[in-house]
Amino acid sequence: MMPSQSHADLLAAMREFALESDRYVDRAAAVHGLHRTHLNALGFLVSPGPNAPTPGKLGQALNLSSPAVTALVDRLEHSGHVIRQRGQVDRRQVELAMTESARIIGRQLFMPLAARLSQALDSYSPEELALVERFLNEMTNATAEAKGNLQAAPPATEAL
């Protein structure tokens, strides 16, 4: 089924929003000498969750290998953004926590964006916002489902 023009226009607008969001994150990271992966890691750590964040959970969230997670956490710890601490329940477990300085930098980087987005949202009614929220949740779920169905491309065959 071919998408209608309104679908194509909406998908183009979503793509442009995603690209502009990426550009904002890239710029925000560069302002403080960070890499996008650093901000993604800090974003994971600041998100509330039922269990304390660990290096393993961080690796799963960012799709990083164990050595890459170790190097990332080492860099974040060295720069004063993250601390490693022993688990409260299981002392053998290492948990990660953001430092207050990382929280301050995060607020400096993302409060201006949050303010502008909030300002844009103020022009919508509660009903419109509920519809947009439902839409975004459904698009996120559809994207996650499509991601789960991706398969590796077959190996390229060489020309004779």
Residue 67: what pLDDT? 96
Nearest to 75 by CA among 31, 41, 109: 41
pLDDT recorded at residue 16? 96
Rounded-to-integer distance, Cα 63 and Cα 138, Å: 23
Would the pTM count as exceeding 0.85? no
pLDDT exceeds cutoff 80 at 3: no
Which percentage of the chain shows pLDDT scores above 70? Answer: 95
Q: What is the pLDDT of residue 155?
A: 76
DSSP H stretches of helix in 32-65: 36-46, 55-62
> Are 81 and 97 a contacting pair, CB within 8 Å?
no
Which residues does 20 contact at the CB level (< 8 Å), separation at least 6?
none
Contact between 69 and 59 under an 8 Å Cβ cutoff? The reply is yes
Which residues, at least 6 apart from 149, have a Cβ–Cβ distance to it below 8 Å? none
45-63 confidence digits (pLDDT tens): 887 677 789 999 999 999 9
Could you give the CA distance from residue 89 to residue 54 in angstroms, rounded to a whole number?
13
Query: Residues 108-136: pLDDT tens digits?
Result: 888 999 999 999 999 999 999 999 999 99
Q: What is the mean pLDDT of residues 32-46?
A: 88
CB 45 within 8 A of CB 58: yes
Task: Give the 3-state secondary structure percentages of the chain, helix then strand then coil, rounded to 5.
Answer: 65, 5, 30
